[in-house]
Amino acid sequence: MENSKQVKDMVQQKYAEIVNQSKEQNETSCCGAGSCGTYTIMSEDYSGLDGYNPDADLGLGCGLPTEYAKIKKGDTVVDLGSGAGNDAFVARTLTGEEGEVIGIDMTEAMIQKAKANAEKLGFTNVAFRLGDIEDIPLSSKRADVVVSNCVMNLVPDKEKAFSEVFRILKPLGHFSISDIVLKGDLPEAIKKEAEMYAGCVAGAIKKSEYLGILAEQGFVNITVQKEKEIIIPVEVLSQYLSQEEISTYKEKGMGIYSITVYAERPDASCGCGPKATCC
């Protein structure tokens, strides 16, 4: 991908195309991006969680961040890349009538679908806004909790995106984010393949780099709450790699992983600066 705008335009186009596909269609492609194989390797089963709504589940996630997000009654929760509202509606059950849930998505078609789902459910404390995660349309110190599901890896400027998460969180607020990261150097043939870029592997970076960005932005108590290797079937890998490259890929411990990461915004009132880590 040549620049940030091209990446965003491509992601927007793909997610606008899949908004009206079924969950089954989306799960049997690269996170809904196209027909690059028939395997359900990324998405998690939400059906056992309170607040789950099948109409909002497009099968596009790679974790269950709301399950790990420590949401309390009355919290204000922000869901970044909210899609059709799946995580937002689960979060709403946890935060209750007295809380508030705000979903942010950059695809107009997703916002409209999420709003229609909220209206059908009769929710008055769940709102969806069109916006860019690199420039979140919310005031500073607005959220108690931020969640996101397999979206940050699609964002070109991750430093800017996580600085925005820091900005909208209240002091001592926290996030739980599920995302895709890499271990080792992913073969160029996979990194450059268009369907993989349109799916969940798009823009994924090494796990160590990902966690490093969080620390650089001032987050503390960074914890990987869950980690799962994404096993890509050999028949899929063989579409992109030679047999020798597949062997190298496996022997060197390269891989794609789904992680759910927790981190907190510290309380800067102790006088250590705007991104204090001493408190």
Q: What is the CATH number of the domain that holds 14?
A: 3.40.50.150
How many domains does the chain contain in total?
Answer: 1
* Structural domain contains residue 91: yes
Contact 230, 258 (CB under 8 A): yes
* Structural domain contains residue 68: yes
Instruction: Give the count of beta carbons closer than 10 Å to the beta carbon of residue 9.
Output: 12
* Structural domain contains residue 154: yes
* Structural domain contains residue 270: no
* Structural domain contains residue 277: no
Backbone torsion region of residue 263, taken as left when φ is above 0, otherwise alpha when ψ lies between -120 and 50, otherwise beta: beta
Q: Return the amino acid letter for 34.
A: G
* Structural domain contains residue 208: yes
Taking only the tens place, the pLDDT of each residue in 6-63 is 666 666 666 656 656 555 555 444 444 444 433 345 678 888 899 999 888 887 788 9
The residue segments making up the domain with residue 233 are: 4-265
* Structural domain contains residue 46: yes
Question: Rounded CA gap, 143 and 72, in Å?
Answer: 12
The per-residue pLDDT string of the chain (279 residues; one tens digit each, 9 = 90 and over) reads 456 776 666 666 666 566 565 555 554 444 444 444 333 456 788 888 999 998 888 877 889 999 999 999 999 999 999 999 999 999 999 999 999 999 999 999 999 999 999 999 999 999 999 999 999 999 999 999 999 998 998 888 999 999 999 999 999 999 999 999 988 887 777 766 645 554 567 678 999 999 999 999 999 999 999 999 888 778 878 888 888 888 887 777 788 889 999 999 999 765 544 455 444
* Structural domain contains residue 271: no
* CA distances to 183, 215, 231, 262, 268 from 277, in Å: 27, 9, 37, 16, 8
What pLDDT is recorded for position 14?
A: 67
Backbone torsion region of residue 27, taken as left when φ is above 0, otherwise alpha when ψ lies between -120 and 50, otherwise beta: alpha
